[in-house]
Amino acid sequence: MPEPFTTDRDILFLCVANSARSQMAEGLARKLFGARIAVQSAGSEPSQVNPYAIEVMREVGVDLTTHRSKSVETIDPATVGTVITLCAEEVCPLFLGEARRLHWALPDPASKDPSLSRDEMLARFRATRDQIQGRLEVLDALLDVPEGPGPEEFHASVRVKNLARSTRFYSWLLGAPPKEWTHRYSTFITPALRTNFVLVVADGKDLHHDTLYHLGVGVADKAAVLRAHALARSAGVTVTKPPRTTWRGTPLHELWLEDPDGTLVEVYARLTPEELAAMPADLEPTPLTEPR
């Protein structure tokens, strides 16, 4: 059983320049945690605190004017219990030590694009600030979770329009028929599958794969994703996006299907270290093709 999330030493926020994301995270965390947790930030190539970061943080009652960009090399690893990296398109700093590691991939709101107006830059920084705030609130909620009931099984269900058609689809997807069924439901028990259960915020946006609203099954590797595509076409399953490798967030080989009710289903495989080394600079999805 996994250990509850606890921290008894500093939280360290890391990005490259220690000028925007990690500075805003440090300020927000100090305000949220107070004296409960020591908080610091640093970067691999420290510069100076971005004026836009100072301005948008002042809007939420946090003063960054006394903050200074710091090098990760000045941080004592023995004082750090949790490292949170906030890099997205850059290479995140390395940090030595036995700290818990979290990765919050957030694009850098700073930009050298001269076409961006002051209002557009402020909007970029506010969006990043608010995303960090939301993640910190979840982290705070995890620090004092009381002892739970010790579950041995997890149940999730979806509504379907045609039970027979959906039973056929999920028998195909999960590789086994239902354990039992009635005229109202079919029950699938698959002990070999690990649960990946996602909660999605109700923000009023349309629910689709870009807002994490979907079902998914993990497979072994890239070849298995390609094989799933061939099997789906052979079985007459609707393919909404053919196999590709996505690099933003968690890099994955993926394939998107639809069940008979239009619910999106992702078939995915995590990348090997060798595959990750081939990540393109623009982070745009790469189509997967069958080997010749």
Token pair recorded at residue 70: 């710091």
Is the backbone of residue 175 left (phi > 0), alpha (psi -120 to 50) or beta? left
- Kindly state the helix (H) or strand (E) to which residue 265 belongs, with its residue range: strand 264-270
Question: Out of 92, 136, 255, 267, which one is annotated catalytic?
Answer: 92
| Selection from 39, 63, 37, 31 nearest residue 49 by Cα | 63
Pairing between β-strand 286-287 and β-strand 238-246 as defined by DSSP bridges = antiparallel
**CA atoms lying within 13 Å on the CB side of residue 270:** 4
**How far is the C-alpha of 246 from the C-alpha of 198, rounded, in Å?**
19
Question: Out of 62, 72, 87, 136, which one is annotated catalytic?
Answer: 87
Question: Out of 15, 56, 228, 288, which one is annotated catalytic?
Answer: 15
Long-range contacts, stretch 102-108, CB < 8 angstroms, 24+ apart: 104/132, 104/135, 105/248, 105/249, 106/21, 106/131, 106/132, 108/15, 108/16, 108/20, 108/21
Look up 92 and say whether it is catalytic.
Answer: yes
Look up 163 and say whether it is catalytic.
Answer: no
CA dist 289 to 248, 254, 281, 283, Å? Answer: 20, 12, 20, 18
Look up 247 and say whether it is catalytic.
Answer: no
Catalytic sites, residue numbers: 15, 87, 92
